[in-house]
A = this chain, B = another copy of it.
Amino acid sequence: MGTSLKIITAKRAGFCFGVKRAVDMAFDAAHKNGKKCCDVYTLGPIIHNPQVIEKLKSEGVQPTDDIDNPKIKTIIIRTHGVQQEVSYKLSQKGYKVVDATCPFVKKAQQYAKLLKEDGYQVIIIGDKDHPEVKGLMSYAGEDVVVVNKDDGLPHLKSRVGFVVQTTQPLSVLKKFISEAVEHVKELKVFNTICNSTALRLKETKEMAGKVDVMVVVGGKNSANTTQLAQLCNSMSIPAYHIETALEIKDEWFSNADKVGITAGASTPDWIIKGVEKRIRDIGGEGS
């Protein structure tokens, strides 16, 4: 380590298109009419990043799980989207609804609905406990099947249609359509995977091959940040998953010439910048 420590930040570190849009919409809702509101809620935490949630709270935007909360005037739907019946209930309540569902997730919901209406048995690839998948399921009809990467397919009807949780890897989609085509006569696939996750992983992998230490920035509760950290840990260099610059220790860089920084889709730019500054202070240069 020394003043020669070189810092490289991934181009794709941080907010993806859908998250940036949702966070902007939340801050906009907070500052409506030039003054802070105090009756604006997000249905669940808007993204998996505690620091952003705290910042929004300080602006008057609270997360809530209770849609009957009498204080609500404006409710923000997060990027993952919600179940069809929740969406209906919110509008019945007379709230102002700010729909920050990621447009790619919205499309997947519409495809699930379309498949159901065309008489297909809908198969959703993803984590059945994830809010995005719960939302998709509500559009997919009663005979919907949800499968995650290590599952096998159950007995299927003769016409099946696939939609995919937007953050799934392509390999899992390939596995399931290969398996399904053995058993069905007709198969329709909407490839609803958003390539933002895949591209971020690819860039991180390439970067980890060129540096001495990797720093992965993002919520410990963020699935996609954790995936980045796991990828780095599987490589032959030290890698650290942190939420903010405060967790950084000087000795991590004592044998390093080059350090790489990457961040999940829910990590805001100001936290990434803070991490860069902290490492630069330790002895790094530029990026």
Sort A-B residue pairs by CB-CB distance and give the 8 closest, nearest first.
Answer: A187-B189, A174-B178, A188-B188, A181-B191, A185-B191, A186-B190, A177-B177, A178-B178
Q: Does A170 contact B (CB under 8 A)?
A: yes
Of the candidates B170, B174, B181, B185, which one forms a contact with A173 in the assembled complex, judged by CB atoms under 8 Å apart?
B181
The CA of A83 and the CA of B17, in the complex, are separated in Å by: 48
| A and B contact pairs by CB, cutoff 8 A, 27 listed | A170-B181, A170-B182, A173-B181, A174-B178, A174-B181, A177-B177, A177-B178, A177-B181, A177-B187, A177-B189, A178-B178, A181-B189, A181-B191, A184-B191, A185-B190, A185-B191, A186-B188, A186-B189, A186-B190, A186-B191, A187-B187, A187-B188, A187-B189, A187-B191, A188-B188, A188-B189, A189-B189
Taken together as a complex, chains A and B put the C-alpha atoms of A189 and B120 apart, in Å, by: 13
Q: Please give the distance in Å from A15's CB to the nearest CB on chain B.
A: 24
Interface residues of A (CB under 8 A from B): 170, 173-174, 177-178, 181-182, 184-191
User: What separation, in Å, do the CA atoms of A191 and B189 have in the docked complex?
Assistant: 13
Chain B positions within 8 Å of A181 at CB level = 170, 173-174, 177, 189, 191
Instruction: Say how many copies of this protein the assembly contains.
Output: 2
Compute how far the CA of A194 lies from the CA of B173 in the bound complex, rounded to whole angstroms. Answer: 25
Which chain B residues border A174 with CB–CB below 8 Å?
178, 181
Which residues of B sit under 8 angstroms from A188, Cβ to Cβ? 186-189
User: Which residues on B sit within 8 Å (CB–CB) of A182?
Assistant: 170
| B contact residues around A186 at 8 Å (CB) | 188-191
Nearest-CB residue, chain B, relative to A182: B170
- B residues less than 8 Å from A177 (CB atoms): 177-178, 181, 187, 189
Q: How far is the CA of A186 from the CA of B190 in the complex (A)?
A: 5
For A170, the chain B residues whose CB sits under 8 A away are 181-182
Q: How far is the CB of A125 from chain B (nearest CB, A)?
A: 12
Q: How far is the CB of A128 from chain B (nearest CB, A)?
A: 22
A174 nearest CB neighbor, chain B only: B178
CA distance A174 to B179 in the complex (A): 9
Task: Give complex CA distance A187, B177 in Å.
Answer: 10
Which residues on B sit within 8 Å (CB–CB) of A178? Answer: 174, 177-178
Inter-chain contacts of A189 with B (CB < 8 A): 177, 181, 186-189
CB neighbours (8 Å) of A187 from chain B are 177, 187-189, 191
Q: How many Å lie between the Cα of A190 and that of B189 in the bound state?
A: 12
